[in-house]
Amino acid sequence: MTRRIATGLGLSLGLVAALGVPPTGGCAANCPGRAAAEPAPPRAPSLAPLSAPPHAPLSAPPLTPLSRPPHAPLFAASSAARPLRLVLDGASFSLSDAFAILDGRPLAATLAPSARATMARTRAGALAALNDGRRVYGWNQALGPLKDRPLTMAQQERFQRNILRSHSAGVGDPLPDDVVRLALILKANQLARGRAGVRPEVPQRLLDLINAGVVPRMPQIGSLGAGDLQPHAAAGLAAIGEEAPVRYRGQEGPAFEVLPRAGLARSFTLQAGEALPIVSGGTVLAATLAHAVHRATTLADQAEGAFALFMEATRAERSALDARTHAERHIPEENAVAARLRAMVAGSRWMTEEGRRRLSPEPRVQDAVSVRAAPHILAGLRHALADARRTLTREANSSTFNPLIFRRERGRGYEFVTGGNWDGSIMGHLADTLNAEITDVGVLSQELSGRLLSPRWSYGLPANLAGPPVGLNSGMVQVQTVAAALIPEMQVRASPAGTLSRPVKDGQEDHNTMAMASARHLHENLDRLEIVLAVQYLMAAQGIDLIAGTMAGLPLGAATARLRAELRRYVAPLGDDRYQTPDLERAIQLVRERRLVPQITVRPQQ
């Protein structure tokens, strides 16, 4: 999806009471929704007043244009940032390391001495087994449907190049640089376990590229989730110095030209059995899923913040967050979500009987299902994220190639064992599950923003969230339509690709997980959820601003006040109708830049 946003914002300020901004046009101090004798509700200290004339840029620090491609890192790491120093041993790589890489942190990675020793022993044992006459897939036998065709030792060097060349057929947009860096780190870490039979120089060559700032171009399309054959083949070609493109210091060119400029040897020769472990395994899939988990975690935080702001705007009942109710369900993630939401609205007097009476004398009997079930729905996403984190940590420290090499259980020497450890079905199904949860959160968000348009459903907010006079002004109905338009797209792409296996390669690979399709669909829906949540934030803040005068003297929760203040630094309240695309694009960017993550401290039993 295109990510472009203007750096300036045209303002037409009508309703400004909630921010205490002097009006520059439209209604005067006696505007509906502003009480002249009443002080405005408390504001977060970080709020920068909007004092610009109509159509001038905000006085607050401008947001930078969105120039990163879809799925690019959320933050651009400073070149002066302290490098992440990794010593890979095949057993201790953590998800926090993965997230640091995805955030663009500079890297300095090497193999642990113990891993080098293990790899050298396994390599010697593998070659000894071959010398004893063992015929082994991908070593002295061809690949895939050609597995029964033998190869001589004299053909090995050429065979390694041919594996990488023949498998480099991927197309489409490249994976983001930091996803590629993570995929290669995961590959090196898995090779460090010493089960693939490659020399230590092979994973070190991959690390040399990353340490030097060279990033192979990995096309997104081609992997079936049965090993990341095509994307890793492209990286392998780059590592050995062929014409595969790489990026270095902002420029792209063929590896054989770029590697020497980065201080690396122009070429690297693979020996028997060393190309197959490069292309076999699911480390590209794991890196792509880790990136999705990283993005989804931030969006889960912001979905909770958007819901808390919605609760303030509608003066919702706190009973939906009661710790006793959630404890009875025995779901840890649900208890945690409810506790965070309670912390966000702590101190709010809008969500009280007094606050609700300001707009309606009738008692609130029970809020709608979308409000009462929101902690449960949001907890479903947290539960799926926890499952994905456990799987990714395990995956990062596993051997996912074929064949594997082990010491013989009986007798001396090593043996080759063929299997299916490259299979990515678990990660693919987790991606499908995460996508379903992401889509459900999107549906919830769209439903909540839709409620804000209705005076009946919002318990007294002006129709369409329009500034006065309502009718002459149409308000935000078309802003909400943007979210509604994206929901069916999300629902279509949430259909699980993991159930769509089809046989390929002359029946030799007759079951495929389609896990990369699942991961790509997940990222596409994360793009959409960013927009849907931005709509909810924009509309919830508008609802609060429209009734701020009526609610004068009653504070918002401290955390929700900070969220509203951060949004209002860049997007003014809507009074008279104006061109709304820039407003929404700014809100989208705030979500993408993680600026609307709630800042809260959750105490035990809060």
222/155: higher pLDDT: 155
Q: Specify whether 139 is located in the same domain as 262.
A: yes
Model confidence band, residue 509 (pLDDT cutoffs 50, 70, 90): low
Looking at residue 440, its amino acid is D
Looking at residue 594, its amino acid is R
**φ and ψ at 600, to 5 degrees?**
-140, 160
- For residue 13, the model assigns a pLDDT of 31
> Distances from the Cα of 354 to the Cαs of 17, 315, 346, 553, in angstroms?
21, 10, 16, 11
Q: Specify whether 553 is located in the same domain as 464.
A: yes
In a domain, 333, yes or no: yes
Contacts of 142 (CB under 8 A, 6+ apart): 148, 149, 150, 151, 159
Kindly state the average pLDDT of the residues 235-252.
96
CA distance 118 to 500: 39
Model confidence band, residue 458 (pLDDT cutoffs 50, 70, 90): very high
Checking if the pLDDT of 144 tops 60, the result is yes
Q: Specify whether 419 is located in the same domain as 455.
A: yes
Q: Specify whether 308 is located in the same domain as 274.
A: no
Contacts of 404 (CB under 8 A, 6+ apart): 195, 196, 416, 417, 419, 421
List the CATH number of the domain containing 390: 1.20.200.10
Q: 571: phi > 0 → left, psi -120 to 50 → alpha, else beta; which? A: beta
Tokens of 463: 């129709």
Closest CA to 350 of 564, 569, 591: 564
Model confidence band, residue 347 (pLDDT cutoffs 50, 70, 90): very high
Model confidence band, residue 150 (pLDDT cutoffs 50, 70, 90): confident
Q: Match 């997980």 to its residue by tokens.
A: 513
Tokens of 351: 């969500």
Three-state secondary structure call for residue 245: strand
Kindly state the average pLDDT of the residues 435-444.
98
- Domains: count for the chain: 2
Check residue 216 and report its DSSP letter: E
Q: Specify whether 312 is located in the same domain as 399.
A: yes
In a domain, 298, yes or no: no
Q: Specify whether 316 is located in the same domain as 447.
A: yes
CA distance 210 to 84: 12
Beta-carbon neighbour count of residue 327 at 10 Å? Answer: 13
- For residue 80, the model assigns a pLDDT of 56
Contact 416, 134 (CB under 8 A): yes
- For residue 505, the model assigns a pLDDT of 62
Residue range of the domain that includes 145: 84-280
Q: How many CA atoms lie within 13 A of 597 on its CB side?
A: 12
In a domain, 337, yes or no: yes
Tokens of 334: 């649900």
363/64: higher pLDDT: 363
Dihedral sign, CA of 226, 230, 231, 234? positive
CA distance 325 to 332: 13
Kindly state the average pLDDT of the residues 187-204.
96
Q: Which residues pair with 85 in a beta bridge?
A: 108
**First CA to last CA across the chain, in angstroms?**
40
Checking if the pLDDT of 62 tops 70, the result is no
Q: Specify whether 322 is located in the same domain as 265.
A: no
Q: Specify whether 276 is located in the same domain as 307.
A: no
Q: What is the mean pLDDT of the chain?
A: 85
Model confidence band, residue 333 (pLDDT cutoffs 50, 70, 90): very high
Checking if the pLDDT of 36 tops 50, the result is no
Kindly state the average pLDDT of the residues 473-493.
97
List the CATH number of the domain containing 117: 1.10.275.10
Checking if the pLDDT of 37 tops 70, the result is no
In a domain, 188, yes or no: yes
In a domain, 6, yes or no: no
- For residue 318, the model assigns a pLDDT of 94
Beta-carbon neighbour count of residue 569 at 10 Å? Answer: 22
Q: Specify whether 447 is located in the same domain as 326.
A: yes
In a domain, 224, yes or no: yes
* The domain boundary residue, chosen from 265, 280, 295: 280
Q: Specify whether 351 is located in the same domain as 269.
A: no
In a domain, 12, yes or no: no
Three-state secondary structure call for residue 62: coil
Checking if the pLDDT of 29 tops 60, the result is no
In a domain, 599, yes or no: no
Model confidence band, residue 418 (pLDDT cutoffs 50, 70, 90): confident
Q: Specify whether 265 is located in the same domain as 343.
A: no
The pTM score is 0.86
Contact 306, 537 (CB under 8 A): yes
Q: Specify whether 246 is located in the same domain as 327.
A: no
361/58: higher pLDDT: 361
